[in-house]
Amino acid sequence: MGWYGASLALRLQPSDLFYAALRGEVLRDADGLMTATGRDTLLGTATLTLGLRATSHLLVMLDNRVDVANAELFQKGVRDTSRLQATTTLGANVTTR
C-alpha cells in the first residue's frame, strides 16, 4: 500500500519580538518499509515553538515536541522502548546582516 503523510502549521506573531507556532504531523507507513519497522506503522507529532527576537541579529527559539506511535518505537533508557517521546530544544539563530 505504501505510505502517506500530512502536516498542518499555524504561526501567530503578536509583535515584532515574539511569535508562537503550532505544528502537527501524521505519517502512515502501511508496509513498514519507509520506517524500517516491517509492519503497519502510524506516527504522529505535535510541536509548539516559542520564538523571541532578542536583538536584530539573534532569534531564540524554544521547541516542545511530543511524538506518538502505534507501537513501542522510541528508545527509553538502555533496554526499554515506548510509544511516546517528549523532547525540548533550545535553539538560537544568529545572522550577520
Q: What span, in angstroms and rounded, lies between the C-alpha atoms of 78 and 37? A: 19
Which pLDDT score, from 0 to 100, does residue 34 have? 86
- The share of the chain scoring above pLDDT 90, in percent, equals 85
Domain ranges of the chain: 3-94
Burial per residue of 63-95, b for 16 or more beta-carbon CB atoms within 10 angstroms, e otherwise: beeebbbeeebbeeeeeeeeeebeeeeeeeeee
Rounded to 5°, the CA angle 59-60-62 comes to 140
Does the structure show a pLDDT above 80 at 23? yes
**Stretch 12-22: mean pLDDT, rounded?**
96
Which pLDDT score, from 0 to 100, does residue 1 have? 67
